[in-house]
């Protein structure tokens, strides 16, 4: 079994057709087909079945693909490290971040970091890579050493990586302008339970904490929509589809567009975790940026205090 056959199998699984797989690999369609035939013959496993002139993957193919992807993650890590070494590694900073902090907070922090560097003679702007990913993918990249550090939610296990709490914040209720609950300084659990609710996915740790807090009061939310990201909750709320409970840092990104923020009468915690590859020592650039991030977080929290109240 040759590496090229595994590579061809992966390309076909990812692209869906022999034509697209051939384009990706820079070979002919017959070459793709012959490679797949050899792989099936050598493995003794039927990986694809032909239907209407297309090769359709079998359950065995999907099972093999999971193992192949894990192997290629390791190869991607090697390629990433080679690229970093080729470019010197100095003056580079790679950050992975989940959307709750990546879409608005990180750009604000990077802007502040640029201003900070301008006041430091001889401190050039580093080459920065900011990857906005799910918490699962952030954890994966950190564990493989593909970034300097990451920010993620707290619903995933943290074994095998270094970690610390970056932010612990009380969730806020978000709603469209003119909503009936906007006249209150705080939204009560019963008001939340009676409203059309835009929910984070059930596996989200903060959603589980909300459900537990409401269940203790004999209440539950009326879910109209599920979505994995706080940014999506805010967008949906702005479009009049209901109210939601989100990380306040994310909510702040939407205030200028009219999103209304109100405090929730009970505490439901949203936790942002900073994660690093095990045993990694952060560069001076990354340490300096983390300091700027903490200052930005303090400023954002202060700004939120002015928005999360009802107008007089």
**pLDDT at 181 (0 to 100):** 96
Identify any residues that bridge with 223 across adjacent strands, giving them in sequence order: 197
CA distance 171 to 159: 26
Shared domain check, 182 and 52:
no
Out of 85, 102, 134, pick the residue that ends a domain: 85
- Backbone φ and ψ of 309, nearest 5°: -135, 155
Please give the distance of CA 287 from its chain centroid, rounded to a whole number: 22
**pLDDT at 62 (0 to 100):** 87
Shared domain check, 280 and 195:
yes
Range of the domain at 59: 3-85
Per-residue pLDDT of the chain (312 residues; tens, 9 = 90+): 677 888 888 888 888 888 888 888 888 988 988 988 988 888 888 888 888 778 888 888 888 888 887 777 666 655 655 555 454 444 689 999 999 999 999 999 999 999 998 887 777 888 899 999 999 999 999 998 889 999 999 988 888 899 999 999 999 999 999 999 999 999 999 999 999 999 999 989 999 999 999 999 999 999 999 999 999 999 999 999 999 999 999 999 999 999 999 999 999 999 999 999 998 888 888 999 999 999 999 999 988 877 665 443
Shared domain check, 147 and 103:
yes
Residues 6+ apart with CB under 8 A from 226: 199, 200, 201, 202
Shared domain check, 76 and 116:
no
Q: In CATH, what number is assigned to the domain containing residue 68?
A: 1.10.10.10
Q: In CATH, what number is assigned to the domain containing residue 121?
A: 3.40.190.290
Shared domain check, 202 and 102:
yes
Look up the pTM and report it: 0.70
Shared domain check, 95 and 43:
no
Shared domain check, 236 and 155:
yes
Shared domain check, 164 and 227:
yes
Out of 53, 85, 117, pick the residue that ends a domain: 85
Are 276 and 148 within 8 A, CB to CB?
yes
Q: CA nearest 291: which of 283, 280, 301?
A: 283
Shared domain check, 59 and 30:
yes
The CA-based angle 292-293-296, given to 5 degrees, is: 90
**pLDDT at 268 (0 to 100):** 96
195-209 per-residue burial string, b: 16 or more CB within 10 A, e: under 16 = bebbbbeeebbbbeb
Shared domain check, 262 and 279:
yes
Shared domain check, 19 and 147:
no
Domain count, the chain: 2
């Amino acid at each position: 079994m040759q590496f090229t056959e595994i590579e061809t199998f992966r390309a076909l699984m990812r692209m869906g057709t022999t034509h697209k797989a051939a384009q990706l690999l820079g070979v002919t369609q017959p070459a793709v087909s012959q490679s797949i035939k050899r792989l099936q013959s050598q493995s003794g496993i039927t990986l694809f079945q032909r239907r209407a002139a297309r090769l359709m993957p079998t359950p065995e193919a999907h099972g093999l693909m999971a193992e192949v992807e894990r192997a290629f993650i390791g190869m991607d890590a090697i390629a990433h490290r080679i690229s970093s070494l080729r470019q010197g590694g100095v003056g580079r900073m790679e950050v992975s971040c989940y959307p709750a902090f990546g879409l608005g907070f990180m750009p604000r922090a990077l802007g502040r970091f640029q201003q900070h560097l301008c006041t430091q003679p001889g401190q050039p702007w580093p080459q920065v890579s900011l990857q906005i990913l799910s918490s699962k993918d952030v954890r994966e990249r950190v564990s493989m050493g593909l970034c300097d550090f990451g920010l993620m939610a707290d619903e995933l296990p943290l074994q095998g990586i270094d970690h610390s709490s970056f932010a612990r914040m009380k969730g806020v209720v978000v709603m469209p302008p003119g909503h009936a609950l906007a006249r209150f300084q705080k939204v009560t659990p019963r008001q939340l339970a009676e409203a059309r609710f835009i929910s984070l996915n059930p596996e989200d740790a903060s959603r589980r904490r909300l459900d537990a807090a409401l269940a203790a009061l004999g209440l539950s939310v009326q879910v109209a929509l599920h979505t994995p990201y706080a940014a999506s909750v805010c967008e949906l709320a702005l479009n009049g589809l209901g109210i939601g409970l989100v990380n306040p840092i994310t909510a702040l990104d939407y205030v200028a567009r009219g999103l209304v923020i109100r405090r929730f009468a009970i505490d439901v915690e949203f936790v942002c975790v900073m994660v690093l590859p095990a045993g990694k020592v952060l560069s001076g650039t990354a340490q300096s940026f983390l300091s700027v991030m903490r200052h930005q977080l303090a400023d954002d929290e202060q700004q939120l205090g002015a928005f999360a109240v009802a107008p007089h």
